[in-house]
Amino acid sequence: MIDCLSAKNRSFLGGVLFGTAGVKILGSDDAKKFYINCLAAGLRAKDCVMTTATNIQENAEDVLAEAKEINARRKAEVFEDESGEETTEGLMGRDEDSAEAAAN
């Protein structure tokens, strides 16, 4: 005779009962409210991160533009030198003047 309550059958029946109860719990109104609140919090976090990322990107673009401008001025100043030789002494002094002007 076949034992109808073998370990396999008990495991299967337990899984069916657990699954049915889980579906009922997960589909309840309280669970749906919880899901909605979690999703809303996630969307708020996404908005905050995107705002911060946009600000960082804009600041990086400004810094890059200023750096390119400084390099263009330096290049022009070096080529304006009559001797045609680049002097680090002159460039160092210009850096300090630029830093003082930026601070003011």
CA pair distance 43, 94, nearest whole angstrom: 49
pLDDT for the residue numbered 55: 95
Helix (H), strand (E) at residue 73 = helix 29-80
**101 near 66, Cβ under 8 Å?**
no
Please give the DSSP secondary-structure letter assigned to residue 28. Answer: S
Say what the pLDDT of residue 1 is: 40
Would you state the pLDDT for residue 98?
Answer: 55
Residues in the chain: 104
Q: How far apart are CA 53 and CA 56, in angstroms?
A: 5
Instruction: Tell me how far the alpha carbon of residue 11 is from its chain's centroid.
Output: 45
Q: Which residues contact 80 (CB under 8 A, 6 or more apart)?
A: none
- The reported pLDDT for the residue numbered 3 is 57
What per-residue confidence (pLDDT) applies to 47? 96
Place of tokens 């002494």: 89
Contact between 94 and 74 under an 8 Å Cβ cutoff? The reply is yes
> How confident is the prediction along the chain (104 residues), in pLDDT tens digits per residue?
455 667 777 788 888 888 888 888 888 888 899 999 999 999 999 999 999 999 999 999 999 999 999 999 998 888 776 555 555 555 555 555 555 555 54
